[in-house]
Structure 1
Amino acid sequence: MDEVEVVVAHSERATLRVGDVFLKVDADQARIDVEVEAMSLAPVPTPEVLWRKPPVLAIAALPGTTLGRLGGPSTGSSAAWAAAGTAIRKLHDAPLPPRAGRAGRSIVALAAELDAECELLVTNGLLPADLVTRNRQVAEAALRPWTAAFTHGDLQIAHVFVEGNEVTGIIDWSEAGQGDALYDLATFTLGHEEHLDDVVAGYGTDIDLDVIHAWWSLRSLLVVRWLTEHGFDPFAPGCEVDVLRSRM
């Protein structure tokens, strides 16, 4: 009998690994619907869906390893990061999926959410006011018109698998949909600024780096409180709070 590994678990969802099978348990079946649909449409390698019986989705493990994790060292070469950039560009150039994703929130809604979150961060004493104010200023550059692309919506480096210098698959598509391509690139390079040039080289087109920096600040501001309340540590070295401090 294979050992059961808890990959991630909180009040909204949990992922377990048993051998070469991942079991995703989600309280919101709409997220699973989005995930299955996005994997069927994405022009990049994705996990094989083995079976689905709500609230559980079973998918096969991917070959290879991730490029690293937020707060940890990168295990991938520059060529591997560039290959990831090429895969991300292929996704962004694909025909649009039918619905908006996490990266597709309107500028007005996003600005309102950001302002409310910044106020809570200061009021609750989670972050100092000067740190929040500076990063809110940086984040402003992300609040601009953008052309919709097929986005992953939660493209953390832990969600991209490589073998050598080849991308073998991308996991966790529950936030996928139409959205801002630079949100994906910023999420992927969050906390690993040293590999941004590699990713951009593989992506193969001009990127507004100010917008990438803005998304680093914006994303970090929005998730610090949620992470703290769900048992994660955004204050760990190299994680979201350090990303915010790097903008000072």
Structure 2
Amino acid sequence: MAEVKVVVAHDERATLRVGDVFLKVDGDQTRTDVEVEAMALAPVPTPEVLWRRPPVLAIAAVPGTELGHLGRPSTASPAAWAAAGAAVWKIHDAPLPPWPGPRLDDIAADLETECEWLLANAVLPTDLITRNREIAESALRPWTPVFTHGDLQTNHVFVDGDEVTGVIDWSEAARGDALHDLAVLTLGYEQHLDDVLDGYGTDVDREVIRAWWSMRSLLAVRWLLGHGFDPSTPGCEFDVLRSRM
């Protein structure tokens, strides 16, 4: 009998692994709709959808290992990181998905709200929050929308040797800023930014990527703390924010 393993579980969604099958349970079927359609549109390897019976989506495991996991050193080669960059370019170069993405005004409002909460609750030193907010605001500029994954963490990219074998968790896919995807992929792995951009193959504004590192970290802290995750773990969001100082 296959072991049942809890991959992630909180009050929004849960993912279980049973052998080579992942069961994703999500109370918001809009996210699942996006995930299924985005995987069908994506020009990179994605998990096979085995069946869907709301609120459960069953997908097959992809081969390979995670490119990395925030807070842990990555064992992937520079060539594997470059291959991830090339895969991101394929996604961004694909036709836009038919649904919209996050609005600039909404992101700016979220940044203000989260920074106010961080300050009011003394989660981090005031100068650290203020400086990172200043940096993050550089990401709040007009961009040409592309097909973005939306949550391209390193543990959502799987590699085998120097090849990308699968990209998972597409529920945040939308029209968005290409540099946001690149920033999420390299968050906490600044030493691999050059490798990723070598594979991506197009000149980008690195300062905007760094702005998204601050933005992503500031916006994530309250959610992480409220869902049982620890942003103060070495190499994670608090360290990313400190590194900007």
Q: Which amino acid aligns with 2:177?
A: D
**Deviates further, 105-114 or 118-127:** 105-114
Match of 2:11, SS state, is coil
> Does the 8 Å contact 1:220/1:243 carry over to 2?
yes
Q: CA deviation at 1:128?
A: 1.4
The normalised TM-score by structure 1 is 0.98
Q: What's the counterpart of residue 96 of structure 2?
A: 96
Q: What's the counterpart of residue 201 of structure 1?
A: 198
Structure 1: which 5+ runs fail to align?
none
In structure 2, what is the Cα distance between the partners aligned to 1:119 and 1:84? 35
Q: What's the counterpart of residue 29 of structure 1?
A: 29
In structure 2, what is the Cα distance between the partners aligned to 1:155 and 1:72? 16
> Does the 8 Å contact 1:47/1:59 carry over to 2?
yes
Q: Which amino acid aligns with 1:221?
A: L
Is 1:14 the counterpart of 2:14 in the alignment? Answer: yes
The percentage of aligned residue pairs carrying the same residue is 73
Q: Which amino acid aligns with 2:44?
A: V
Is 1:212 the counterpart of 2:209 in the alignment? Answer: yes
Matches within 5 A, 1:139-150: 139-150=136-147
Question: How many aligned residue pairs are there?
Answer: 245
In structure 1, what is the Cα distance between the partners aligned to 2:24 and 2:106? 29
Q: State the Cα deviation string for residues 117-150 of structure 1 (Å, max 9, x = none).
A: 1010010121111110000011111000100000
Q: Which amino acid aligns with 2:89?
A: R
Q: State the Cα deviation string for residues 167-226 of structure 1 (Å, max 9, x = none).
A: 001000000011001000000000000000000000001010000000000010000011
Is 1:164 the counterpart of 2:161 in the alignment? Answer: yes
CA RMSD of aligned residues (A): 0.6
The normalised TM-score by structure 2 is 0.99
Matches within 5 A, 1:233-248: 233-248=230-245
In structure 2, what is the Cα distance between the partners aligned to 1:110 and 1:54? 30
Structure 2: which 5+ runs fail to align?
none
In structure 2, what is the Cα distance between the partners aligned to 1:83 and 1:116? 37
**Deviates further, 109-118 or 89-98:** 109-118
Q: CA deviation at 1:153?
A: 0.3
Matches within 5 A, 1:94-133: 94-100=94-100, 104-133=101-130
